[in-house]
Amino acid sequence: MNSRPIALGARLKEIPSIHTLGFKPVFKDYSIEEQKLILDAEKIYYPTAFYADLFNAMGKQTFPSFHTYKFAMDKIKQTAIFHMLDIPHPKTRVFYGEKQKKTILDFFSFPFIAKKARGSAKGKGVFLIKNTGDLSSYLKDHSPAYIQEYLPNDRDMRIIIIGKKIRLAFWRIAGSDNFKTNLSQGGLVCFDPLPPEALNLASMAALKCGWDDVGIDIMMHNGQFYVLEGNMKYGTRGFHAAGIDYKKMLAALILKGEL
C-alpha cells in the first residue's frame, strides 16, 4: 500500500517522498489504483483549481485550501473580502460598463493605479495612470476597470504564509525608473527586519480569508499598513535569495504533518 502523501498538481513531482499523480480532468483517466489512492487519501496536496472544488464538495481536505484556489488571481474578489472583513486596503473601486467607466474621475484623481482585474500576476497588468491619455489606453483593453489609489513608495513587503505560519518575509524594493516592486519587474530583495505590525496584519488577513499558501503584499504609507493583495502564484526568488530550497522545505513540512 502506498503510504506517501498524494498530490495531483506538479509542484512537487520531482520529490520522491510525495506521490504526484498528475492532473487529469477526466477522473476515469486515472488508473483504478490511482482512483483508489485519491478517494482513500485523507488529504490531497496541490489538487489544482479544478479538483479543489470537487474535493471541497466531498468534504475531503486539501492543501492548499479550497478558499486559496477560489481567490487566486482575482483582484475583484480579494478587494470585496478585504472590505467585508475590514482588512486595511488602498481605496479601490471596480467600474463595469461604459456608463460606470465615465465616472472614474469622480472618484479618483491623477495619478492612480489601474490593474487587470483577473488573471494577472508578477506585476503584469498593472499601470500607473497619469492623465486622460493613459486612462483611455487602459480602458480600451480592460473591462471591468479595476482602479486603486496610488500610494507613492519605493518598497513594499512580501510575507509568505504556508500552512498557518510565516515561512519567509522580506522587503521588495523597486528598481530605478519603475514604480513596481515585483522581483520579476526588476525589484530587489532586502532582508532588513519587517515591522511586527505588518507581520501580524499578514497573518490575520490570511487566517480570516482562509488562505494557507499565499504571498501577502503589504505597503506602509504615512504610518498606516495596507494589504495590497494575496498572491497564490507567488515566485520563489525570495526563498532562493534566503538560501532556502523551496521544494524540499514544502516536502519536509508535508511529511512532518504541518501542512
**Cα–Cα distance measured from residue 146 to residue 118, given in angstroms and rounded to the nearest whole number:** 9
> Over pLDDT 90: what percentage of the chain?
90
Place of cell 535569495: 241
Cβ atoms within 10 Å of 112's Cβ, excluding its own: 22
**pLDDT band at residue 184 under the 50/70/90 scheme:** low
pLDDT tens digits, residue range 40-63? 999 999 999 999 999 999 999 999
The rounded mean pLDDT for the chain is 95
**pLDDT band at residue 179 under the 50/70/90 scheme:** confident
Instruction: Check: CB of residue 114 under 8 Å from CB of residue 146.
Output: yes
Pick the CATH number of 91-149 from 3.30.1490.20, 3.40.50.1000, 3.70.10.10, 2.102.10.10: 3.30.1490.20
- Give me the pLDDT at residue 185, please: 62
**Cα–Cα distance measured from residue 92 to residue 75, given in angstroms and rounded to the nearest whole number:** 10
- Give me the pLDDT at residue 64, please: 98
Superfamily name with CATH number, domain 153-255? ATP-grasp fold, B domain (3.30.470.20)
Looking at the predicted structure, is the pLDDT value of residue 129 above 90?
yes
- Give me the pLDDT at residue 2, please: 65
The radius of gyration of the chain's CA atoms, rounded to the nearest angstrom, is 20
1 versus 83: the higher-pLDDT residue is: 83
Exposed (0-12), middle (13-18) or buried (19+): which is 32, by Cβ within 10 Å?
exposed
- What is the average pLDDT across 85-97? 98
- What is the average pLDDT across 68-76? 96
- Give me the pLDDT at residue 175, please: 76
Q: Where in the chain is the domain with CATH 3.30.1490.20?
A: 91-149
Q: Where in the chain is the domain with CATH 3.30.470.20?
A: 153-255
**Cα–Cα distance measured from residue 246 to residue 255, given in angstroms and rounded to the nearest whole number:** 14
**pLDDT band at residue 119 under the 50/70/90 scheme:** confident
Please enumerate in sequence order all residues whose Cβ is within 8 A of that of 121, keeping only pairs 6 or more positions apart, or say none. 73, 231, 233
Return the C-alpha cell found at 50: 479544478
Instruction: Check: CB of residue 199 under 8 Å from CB of residue 169.
Output: yes
Work out the end-to-end distance of the chain between its first and last CA atoms, rounded to an integer number of angstroms.
Answer: 22
